[in-house]
Amino acid sequence: MNIEQKINSLREELRQHNYNYYILDNPTIDDYEFDIKLKELQALEDANPEFFDVNSPTQRVGGAITKNFKTTVHDFRMYSLDNSYSKEDLLDWETRIKKQVDGEVEYTCELKYDGASMNLTYENGKLIRAVTRGDGVQGDEVTANVKTINTVPLKLKGDYPKRFDIRGEIILPIEGFVKMNKERIANDEEPYRNPRNTASGSLKLQDSSEVAKRPLQCLLYSIKGNDLNISTQYEGLQKAREWGFKVPKEAKVVKSIDEVLSYIEYWDKHRHDLPYEIDGVVVKVNSLYQQDELGFTAKAPRWAMAYKFKAEQVSTKLNEITYQVGRTGAITPVANLEPVQLAGTIVKRASLHNADQIEKLDIREDDTVFVEKGGEIIPKIISVDLTERPADSKPTQYISNCPECDAELVRIEGEAKHYCPNYNGCPPQVVGRIQHYISRKAMDIEGLGGETVALLVKVGLVSDYSDLYELQVEDVIPLERMAQKSAENLINGVEASKQIPFERVLFALGIRYVGETVAKKLAKHYKSIDALMAAPIQDLISVDEIGERIAKSVVEFFNSEENRRIIKRLKEFGVQLEISAELLANQTEKLKGKSIVISGVFESISRNELKKLIEDNSGKVSSSISSKTNYLVAGGKMGPSKRAKAESLEIPILSEKEFLNLVK
């Protein structure tokens, strides 16, 4: 056996031992023997650098230093999950599902691991990158750190696809967390608060050798890719396990919501028996074909639901109620609390939402209140301990003037919140609008953060987001913590934002009620800012899913002379304020006003391509058949009930070929 063969043989042997130990939980050699073989391999690799392999078992010890984590766009978006807290929520969800898919529905129940979400990309059986969830569209690449985690295979086994993504949760097992804290306490260091935050923080350490010292694990739960040859969620879990991933075996396929509830009840009682923390159960439609039929909302898959276990509650004293001003002028009352430990973190503040909530719960300063983490994330006050209320307590009087600029607050009829109407003169509104404009989902301006925006406003360099395009390197270098390179990055980032497409620019403008989805619909319908600015309320209401509230807000925004002045400046600076000619060339109005349902499996075009084709031709994709449906596009394996319903309503049923001819 020559040197190269010896090195490759040792690598394969160590990978198998690693798999036996971490995945199968069935080690076949002891730690000492493993370490001896690893050192032998390390010595051979050091002496023969021409045989270096980035995915060798020796690379798990880390050592790479990452000062700035590169932002990477996911191949497949990482959506959030809708949450449920009761049997009624799950039954409602099941009812919605059965309206949209034919046949029996099975569910896969999985534990909801409490850690940091991670997307791993493999090509030809080798790990090529690891990216955090981020905002779901893009995240931070942390490959060097993730490679140190023993339960992340660097090289796969078996019949894996050529390229695919696999999602999981980076967790810190309880035993490892306790051990780490014992060491920190022994060294007179502050102990870590909880396993979840410690796991998440570990991924952003600059020195991967430090990450390697932490007993992190990666538990996998979802595969994404093309031509995977997998038909169900549960089959995907089994395949992942065969390829070498750590997939907990607690997942179970069930046939009814009652069985789902039994699974939830069992794990709510037994979750503390697990070696890691969970905060609920994730329920998914098992069939990937049915998942495809159900699709996604703007934020979450329709085919999955996270059932969250009851939140932990604690009591503490409410010291003071203060008020925050958002970028839209909305006032949010905040409870400033006596610091208290809750679900592994120290809580000092909780949102009180609005005046109605304060009045409903009769919340007062100096009250003893019960606090929980809503969805285990945002602290909220759920009730007051009236037995502890001071004798001289007085009801809370909601403020009448803005805490920042003293303008008299207004309250729009039918809305819960109060607003500061001083749109152009209230500092938090000015700063907040610019911070929204530069954010990832909007203009995504690299090199410019929220603190820098506040500083730019404070020193008078910008007063609205159009001013950003006049900044020069010499303007920003004098700012605190700003050097030549960072100043250049900021200016380059602003310049690059001129290429951001119109729909995101429209979202970035910060029009009240115009989120990402509404911005896309308005951009697609009006195609330019000029057409949108000229649209009356009734015309706006005629656009799909645009109601009176949104329409009034859009008209009000563009009626402002100041906003029109800013739009004019953005045009002059070259910001994209209309759909590009290239995109327009692919769009028609052949399906304008038509509502179309697609169902089944298609041969020459994917379901997503089909949806895009409908939207590019001004049609609306609907998820369920009704009297308002104009066409049903039927592929293979379409369920009989959809066909029967379409026929009973006399809705034209088009084959794949007939539809493609229609829009040709």
One-letter amino acid at 657 equals: K
Tell me how far CA of residue 280 lies from CA of 56, 79, 449, in angstroms: 36, 18, 34
Edge to edge, the sheet with strand 304-308 lists: 83-84, 304-308, 278-285, 107-113, 252-254
One-letter amino acid at 652 equals: P
The DSSP secondary-structure symbol of 271 reads G
- What is the Cα 655 distance to its own chain's centre? 36
Beta carbons of 158 and 179 less than 8 angstroms apart: no
Using CA atoms, how far apart are residues 264 and 19, in angstroms rounded to an integer? 30
Using CA atoms, how far apart are residues 408 and 338, in angstroms rounded to an integer? 31
Tokens of 261: 């509830």
Beta carbons of 156 and 164 less than 8 angstroms apart: no
Tell me how far CA of residue 634 lies from CA of 594, 609, 646, 656, in angstroms: 16, 15, 11, 7
**Is residue 198 helix, strand or coil?**
helix
Tokens of 136: 């779901």
Choose among 145, 85, 146, 95: nearest CA to 120: 146
Using CA atoms, how far apart are residues 243 and 20, in angstroms rounded to an integer? 13
87, 99, 112, 380: which one is catalytic?
112
One-letter amino acid at 380 equals: K
590 carries an active-site annotation: no
Beta carbons of 404 and 325 less than 8 angstroms apart: yes
Using CA atoms, how far apart are residues 566 and 529, in angstroms rounded to an integer? 12
**Is residue 173 helix, strand or coil?**
coil
The DSSP secondary-structure symbol of 85 reads -
Cα angle for residues 456, 457, 460 (degrees, 5° grid): 90
Beta carbons of 279 and 112 less than 8 angstroms apart: yes
Cβ burial 67-79 (10 Å sphere, 16+ → b, else e)? eebebbebeeebe
Using CA atoms, how far apart are residues 233 and 253, in angstroms rounded to an integer? 9
Active site residues: 112
